[in-house]
Amino acid sequence: MMLLAAVFGPLLFAVLSLAGPVRAARWWCLAGSALTLAIGGAALWDFVARPGADFRLQVEVPWSQVLGASLRFGVDSLSAAMLALSGLITLVATISGFAHERSPRSYHGLVLLLLAAMNAVFVTLDLLVFYVAWEVLLVPMLLLIGLFGGEQRRYAALKFFIYTLAGSVMMLALLVLLWSATPAEGRRVAVPAKAVAAVSVDGGQTLHGLRVERSDQAPGAAPVVLVPRSFDLRHLALQWQSWREVRFLGMPLSAFGFLALLLACLVKVPAVPLHTWLPHAHVQAPTAVSILLAGVLLKLGVYGLYRIALPLFPWEVYTWAPTLGWLGLLGILWGALVALGQRDLKRLVAYSSVSHMGFCLLGFGSLTFAGLAGGMVQAVTHGLSAALLFLLVGVLYDRAHHRRIDGFGGLAQPMPRFAWLLLVAALAGAGLPGLAGFPGEFLGLSGAFTSSAPFPLLGALACLSVILSAAYLLGMVRKVVYGPLQHQEHAQFADCDRRELLAALPLVVGLVVLGVWPKPLVEALRPALEALLLHVRSALS
């Protein structure tokens, strides 16, 4: 029920916000994000307290009997972390958007719609629902950028929409293929006893709701389950071997499916060279939308790799892992280098996102526990640090109405609190130990070092990013807040007010807590990640 509330609650609030009085809109938005945060936080806490690889809070509402699709919701620790992040970031974005005066009803309604779609992506266990939510969330995003954005909002919004849509449209083909490759009466699949033991919640009687059949004649043989035709992700994952046997366009279905999925995810992450929609979207989007975009939307790509690509196509993930690693490295270094050359604050932060998300790919590709954990931790912590950076850029834009780095200088004198917050955000982005940027980066790097060739080399090269990230982030800090006051009219700027501090507070607290002691998060993620690793290993043997 809680998960239904996490998806349909914001949806209901969106309707209420659109239809209700103008003044209530922002409060509906606040309520929707707080609800998500509460549910996500409670779920995550449950995994911290009782670690496990199982899906909890499961709920199933039949949708289409023919298609075998239904609203199957459930969370493991990966999705719980993402759900909590989505709630937190939306809360921050809402608070930062409180001052938004232009048509608040549709603005907050769209934010709620976006939140509902994001939550649906994170909690669904059904590939069809996943795909629908994945595409649906583009619409509110398109409208948020296209209606409330800056001068070039139409260009940026269309580019974002078409680019990401083109990236993910092949997923639809994948759905059809997976559906048509399964016999109507289902498929009998042998599952390694170890995998049954790792995931089953009732001592091996059932697996993901399916009865486990053990042959009495051959006690050593692997247990067998009859998998019905459906879009249940867990059932699709059980048949990973079948996807390798079915052929499509002269290649295994799994190869086609993996590439389709990979394209969709890489555009979202975004991986270089598929990233150029991001700077446009960020520059044109209003502050709150930038916060949502960097804080949650980019994580969808990473989440898709963990949730769909790896379970369904473990063999392909393994063979393509070095490519993913190289793409990650390319993103890390290229994003940082381009960020160094930016003169627009938002564009700089956008490219820093490209660089930081590269660590997710590098860690994921290394297929070690450290790397996988690093990818997830980096996804969460980058959400916090990028959101804080965009929030602060927004604070500056509200006062100066421009974002040119060289149009500022010496703001630490009129705005000391802002200067400290900006320094914290920059240091978190630069991966300073004690702040949350560090664990993700370090785990990603150590995962790469401890993986097989060519990953140690990739890790060694990725070390160079610590130079660049310090240069572009702290260089920006120097130009904006330190030195003598460059423009006398800036002396009148008010320091961060209570609302802005309130928006920044949860992010700063999160950055410090996760930076100093990330153990609870990693321990909560452990069973789920180990199950994924086991899945890859069993695919190799």
Partner 1 sequence: MIPSWLPVVVLVLPLLAAVLVGLLPRRSPGLAHGLAAALLGAGLCLALWQATAVLGHGQAFVGPHATWLDLGAFTLGVGVYVDAMAAIMAGIVYLLAVLVLLFNRWYMHDDAQAARFPWQFCGFVFAMLGVVLSDNLFLSFCCWELVGLGSYLLIGFWFAKPAASEDPEYQANKGQGARGVLESSLSPSHAQLKAFVTNRIGDAGFLFGIGVFLVLAIGLGRGTDALGWANLRQVVQDPALASVSCFGLSGHALLVLAALGVFAGAVGKSAQFPLHVWLPDAMQGPTTASSIIHAATMVAAGVFLVARCYPMFPPEALAVVGWTGGITCFFAATIACVQWDLKAVLAYSTVSQLGLMFVGLGAGEAAGGRVAGLAHLFTHAMFKCLLFLCAGAVIHACAGHQDLERMGGLRRRMPVVAWTSLMAVLAIAGAPLFSGFFSKDAVLAAGLGAATAEGGLAWGPFVLACAGSLLTSAYMLRWWFSLFGGDERDASVTHHAHDPSGLAKWVLLLLAPFTLALPWTAGGWLEHALAAPGAAHHEGAHGANDSHTLDAHTLGMILALLLLAVGAAFAVAVFGRGRRELAAGLARRFAGLHRCCAELWGIDRLWHRWFVRGLGQRGSATAARIDLGSTQRLAALEAGKPGPDDFESLDGIVDGVARVCGSLGRGGAWFHGGRLGTYLAVAIGIGAFGLWWGLQR
10 Å CB burial of residue 37 (0-12, 13-18, 19+) is: buried
Residue 402 backbone zone (phi > 0: left; psi -120 to 50: alpha; other: beta): beta
Establish if 196 lies at the interface with partner 1 (CB under 8 A). Answer: no
Closest CA to 34 of 85, 87, 81, 86: 87
The distance of closest approach from Cβ of residue 460 to partner 1 in the complex, given in angstroms and rounded to an integer, is: 5
Establish if 450 lies at the interface with partner 1 (CB under 8 A). Answer: yes
What gap in Å lies between CA 411 and CA 407, rounded to an integer?
11
Residue 229 vs 280, nearer CB to partner 1:
280
| Cβ-based neighbour number of residue 1 at 10 Å | 8
The distance of closest approach from Cβ of residue 415 to partner 1 in the complex, given in angstroms and rounded to an integer, is: 13
Among 456, 513, 536, 538, binds partner 1 (CB under 8 A): 456
Fill in the amino acid letter for 236: L
The footprint of partner 1 on residues 10-29 (CB under 8 A) is none
Site string for partner 1, 378-417 (x = CB under 8 A): --------------------------------x-xx----
Q: Which two tokens stand for residue 435?
A: 């702040």
Contact 138, 161 (CB under 8 A): yes
Establish if 159 lies at the interface with partner 1 (CB under 8 A). Answer: yes
Among 203, 219, 250, 484, binds partner 1 (CB under 8 A): 484
Establish if 2 lies at the interface with partner 1 (CB under 8 A). Answer: no
Residue 97 vs 149, nearer CB to partner 1:
149
Pairing state between β 247-248 and 210-213: unpaired
Q: Which two tokens stand for residue 443?
A: 């785990």
Q: How far is CA 430 from CA 90, 332, 342, 440, in A?
A: 24, 12, 17, 12
The distance of closest approach from Cβ of residue 172 to partner 1 in the complex, given in angstroms and rounded to an integer, is: 19
Span interacting with partner 1, options 38-46, 216-224, 381-389, 464-472, rule CB under 8 A: 464-472
Among 460, 491, 494, 509, binds partner 1 (CB under 8 A): 460
Contact 383, 85 (CB under 8 A): yes
Among 444, 459, 510, 527, binds partner 1 (CB under 8 A): 459
Establish if 427 lies at the interface with partner 1 (CB under 8 A). Answer: yes
Residue 5 vs 470, nearer CB to partner 1:
470
Establish if 57 lies at the interface with partner 1 (CB under 8 A). Answer: no
Establish if 519 lies at the interface with partner 1 (CB under 8 A). Answer: yes
What gap in Å lies between CA 342 and CA 164, rounded to an integer?
24
Establish if 478 lies at the interface with partner 1 (CB under 8 A). Answer: yes
Contact 344, 403 (CB under 8 A): yes
What gap in Å lies between CA 524 and CA 44, rounded to an integer?
8
Span interacting with partner 1, options 106-114, 201-209, 224-232, 339-347, rule CB under 8 A: 339-347
Span interacting with partner 1, options 46-54, 81-89, 203-211, 436-444, rule CB under 8 A: 436-444
Among 470, 502, 512, 536, binds partner 1 (CB under 8 A): 470
Q: Which two tokens stand for residue 524?
A: 């909560």
Establish if 169 lies at the interface with partner 1 (CB under 8 A). Answer: no
Alpha helices in 401-497 (DSSP H): 416-429, 437-449, 455-462, 465-481
Q: Which two tokens stand for residue 526?
A: 């452990």
| Cβ-based neighbour number of residue 334 at 10 Å | 17
| Cβ-based neighbour number of residue 51 at 10 Å | 16
What gap in Å lies between CA 170 and CA 257, rounded to an integer?
8
Site string for partner 1, 306-335 (x = CB under 8 A): ----------------------------x-
Which positions touch partner 1 (CB under 8 A)? 151-152, 155, 159, 162-163, 272-273, 276-277, 279-280, 334, 337-342, 347, 368-370, 373, 410, 412-413, 427, 432-434, 438-439, 443, 445-450, 453, 456-457, 459-460, 463-464, 466-467, 470-472, 474-475, 478, 481-485, 518-519, 522-523, 530
